[in-house]
Amino acid sequence: MSRPGLALYAVGMVVLIVAVDVAFLRYRPVERLIVNVGIVAVFGAVYLIFLRRS
């Protein structure tokens, strides 16, 4: 994956995390942390499995 593509991938992850935090988890800090770690783990797994080769 090219450098601009990787930057776009990271920005997409950040946008998703912020959107989920604002929409669903504003006043729940423990659940927010768990969901954020899960989102980062899923994005990392997708990158390692599908995108690193290209």
In angstroms, the Cα distances linking 1 to 31, 32, 35, 36, 42 are: 32, 29, 26, 24, 17
Question: Does the model's pTM come out above 0.85?
Answer: yes
Please check the confidence at residue 54 and state whether its pLDDT lies above 90.
no
C-alpha to C-alpha distance for 27 and 10, rounded to whole angstroms: 25
What pLDDT score does 53 carry? 75
Q: Report how many domains make up the chain.
A: 1
> What domain range includes position 9?
3-51
pLDDT in tens, 3-53: 898 999 999 999 999 999 999 999 999 999 999 999 999 999 999 999 887
Q: DSSP H helical segments within 1-54, as ranges?
A: 3-24, 29-46
What pLDDT score does 21 carry? 97
Higher pLDDT, 2 or 54: 2
